[in-house]
Amino acid sequence: MAAAYSQSTKTRLLWALSLLIAFSPLIRSSEACGVSVYWGQNLAQEGSLRELCETGYYSYVNLAYLSTFGCGRKLALNFTDHCDAASGGCKSLSTEIQACQNRGVKVLLSVGGNDTRYNQLCSAQDARNVADDLYDTFLSGSNPDGPLGDVSLDGIDLDIEYPGSVNYWDYFVEALANYRTPEKNVYLSARASCSYPDRDIGKAIDTGLLNHVAVRFYEDNPQCYCSGGPERTLETWNRWSSSLPEGTQLFFGRSPNSAASQCALDVFINEILPVIKTSPNYGGVMLLNADSQISTIHQAACDSHSCGISVYWGQSLNEEGSLRDLCETGYYSYVNLAFLATFGCGRKLRLNLTDHCDADSGGCRSLSTEIQACQNRGVKVLLSLGGNDTSYNQLCSAQDARNVADDLYNTFLKGSNPDGPLGDVSLDGIDLDIEYPGSVNYWEYLVEALANYRTPEKNVYLSASASCSYPDKDLGKAINTGLLNHVAVRFYEDNPQCYCSAGAERILQTWNGWSSSLPEGNQLFFGLLPNSNAGSQCTPEVFTTEILPVISSSPNYGGIMLRALYKDISTLYPAAACSNEAFHRRQSLISVL
């Protein structure tokens, strides 16, 4: 039986849901959702790596290929016309790789490819040796003389197509997984045959150590044929989905070259995607190379995944539910743990997550597994400083700011403090929610000190929630450092610059003022409070029809920040009005603080 809600609560819930459903398909951000692509084999069609990532459509880019390895061979890249690795010409890619990673795109090195002459493994020990060489050369971030310079790639992808070969890929995967640490996750994926089980990498998949498997549904293979309808394709998908180890996501592989066996794009979008997206381990779509129809594919593949939505969690147990449930909705790119309520001026760091857990008694350490579960889904988990209660969270000097930054890193970001309030987690970064009218602030020193901890192995993500008024009197100097990844403007404040009663013009003027003034590289988020009682902000209809189409065209548009969380929205919203199958299936939290 549906829970009973007051009329005002129903109004707020419908407000929140109408926003989420209305703008989800329109939002594109650096944290693209569930689209993996191969890059490196077609210069004319692909363009540069930086340009590919800047489209905002991809979550994973597989550099194709490491074509020579194993059996004592020296590692060798083959990126065709993009660059000549043998002469050191591919080291220039290091800045493009870093640019992709700064946008939240995972960059992996794909090993194998179609030419199988020089890339096989000869034994279990050979597999371990190759894994060690790959880590030292491409993942450790400490090899400036390597083929790609001193980059720290995010992981390794297996594209193994050896008919009838003897393989040792399970040993290879196990050796790479041993390099995973709280500071650096080694992401592992594989491209598998349409036939189940895959004869080449089946044992590697069965280890349960792969983050995702992409099945090649474009093969000339009876299990993939779509000529008589999508039924056979769906049967094969279900076989794979039901057989994957728990925790491994499944991607649907397509070839933009219109392989005759694969389903036409309209059949894929209208008849296949709606079904496979209900699978609990659905991860997204894999493209063999860049596709001119990526916009259509991205929207269809990702409308139930996080698309630049930032949320706050930690202030209302009854409405928010668990952190794990929040991340598993698939809607969010960033979750801000709210709040670190006490810090600065010599005070001991202290969390306040209200009824979720008691940090003082060590009760919040149990969140470590939920935080890791969110991060494994690609959700960035940040700790938000400040909040509405400003009594015990101010900075007293520039040196105090630096000291707090050091304490934050060692306690929450480093990943080696099992006795910390959240255990030995390695959070992705820090969010500033500072609302001190007329305060003296030293936030720029805090931001600079935190940014100094950024390394090729670990990026410290920094964000802030800013006042609608520009410039923000509290965080203006911190924003001007250019070190923040994104700024979310609170467009729900009782502030003349936010008033929408006379139309959207004033809101858009304020947005443009912020957009034109942010340092290059900082993204701008539009902050909303899903509450119809906030009279200053625009209605959902005005927001979705008059505001979002304009702001989403800004070059530094990043997405949406939601400041309120409601639960069980599906019980109050007609199922037919929402096209998100995962939403209906889970009937869980649509969230934030």
Same domain, 295 and 351: no
The token duo for 344 is: 């600065």
Is residue 187's pLDDT more than 80?
A: yes
From the list 297, 298, 488, 313, the residue with the least C-alpha distance to 384 is 313
Mean pLDDT value across residues 176-201: 91
Same domain, 178 and 107: yes
Residue 416 located in a structural domain: no
Residue 454 located in a structural domain: no
Residue pair 413/429 in contact by the 8 Å Cβ criterion: yes
Same domain, 433 and 287: no
**Dihedrals φ, ψ of 316, to 5°?**
-155, 90
From the list 534, 551, 545, 528, the residue with the least C-alpha distance to 17 is 528
Confidence of residue 481 (pLDDT cuts 50, 70, 90): very high
Give the DSSP letter of residue 536: T
More confident residue, 328 or 138: 138
C-alpha span between 338 and 462 (Å, rounded): 15
Whether pTM exceeds 0.75: no
Residue 486 located in a structural domain: yes
Give the DSSP letter of residue 506: H
What is the per-residue DSSP string for 370-430?
A: HHHHHHHTT-EEEEEEE-S--TTB---SHHHHHHHHHHHIIIIISS--TTSTT-S----EE
Domain termination site, one of 240, 274, 302: 302
Mean pLDDT value across residues 240-260: 86
More confident residue, 116 or 413: 413
Confidence of residue 327 (pLDDT cuts 50, 70, 90): confident
Residue 25 located in a structural domain: no
Residue pair 343/319 in contact by the 8 Å Cβ criterion: no
Is residue 85's pLDDT more than 70?
A: yes
Mean pLDDT value across residues 478-494: 92
C-alpha span between 15 and 29 (Å, rounded): 23
C-alpha span between 126 and 147 (Å, rounded): 21
Same domain, 425 and 512: yes
Residue 415 located in a structural domain: no
**Dihedrals φ, ψ of 100, to 5°?**
-65, -45
Q: What local confidence, expressed as pLDDT, does residue 405 receive?
A: 98
What is the per-residue DSSP string for 191-232?
A: EE-SSSS-TTTHHHHHTT--SEEEEETTSS-TTT--TT-SHH
Q: How many CB atoms lie within 10 A of CB 443?
A: 24
Same domain, 145 and 40: yes
Same domain, 161 and 230: yes
Tell me the CATH number at 98.
Answer: 3.20.20.80
262-307 tens-digit pLDDT: 788 888 888 888 888 878 888 999 998 877 778 778 777 765 433 4
* Average pLDDT for the chain: 82
Residue 448 located in a structural domain: no
- Counted domains in the chain: 2
Same domain, 325 and 287: no
Confidence of residue 586 (pLDDT cuts 50, 70, 90): very low
Q: Please give the residue range of the domain that contains residue 331.
A: 308-392+421-438+461-469+482-586
Q: What local confidence, expressed as pLDDT, does residue 260 receive?
A: 61
Three-state SS string over 311-363 comes to EEECCCHHHHCCHHHHHHCCCCCEEEEEEEEEECCCCCCEECCHHHCCHHHCH
Same domain, 290 and 313: no
From the list 132, 219, 211, 210, the residue with the least C-alpha distance to 175 is 132
Query: What is the set of active-site residues?
Result: 435
Same domain, 250 and 133: yes
C-alpha span between 76 and 86 (Å, rounded): 7
Confidence of residue 10 (pLDDT cuts 50, 70, 90): very low
More confident residue, 445 or 200: 445
The token duo for 338 is: 């709210």
Highest mean pLDDT among 61-65, 197-201, 268-272, 274-278: 61-65
Q: What local confidence, expressed as pLDDT, does residue 441 receive?
A: 79
